Amino acid sequence: MAVLAATVLLAGCGHKASDTDCAFILDRNVEVQMKSMHISDPVMIDKRKQEIQTELKAQLQGCIGKRITDGMLACVARAQTAEAMDECMR
Q: Which amino acid is at 22?
A: C
Q: Specify the pLDDT at position 59.
A: 82
Query: What residue numbers bound the domain in which 33 lies?
Result: 2-88
pLDDT tens track for 33-84: 999 999 999 999 999 999 998 888 888 888 899 999 999 999 999 999 999 9
Q: Specify the pLDDT at position 1.
A: 53
Q: Specify the pLDDT at position 62.
A: 85
Which of the pair, 81 or 6, is modelled with greater confidence? 81
Taking the C-alpha atoms of residue 15 and residue 69, their distance in angstroms, rounded to an integer, is: 6
Taking the C-alpha atoms of residue 20 and residue 25, their distance in angstroms, rounded to an integer, is: 9
Q: How many domains does one find in the chain?
A: 1
Task: State mean pLDDT over 6-11.
Answer: 47
Half-sphere exposure of 29 (CA within 13 A, CB side): 23
Q: Specify the pLDDT at position 15.
A: 92
User: What separation in angstroms does the CA of 34 have from each of 3, 13, 37, 62, 64?
Assistant: 15, 31, 5, 24, 24
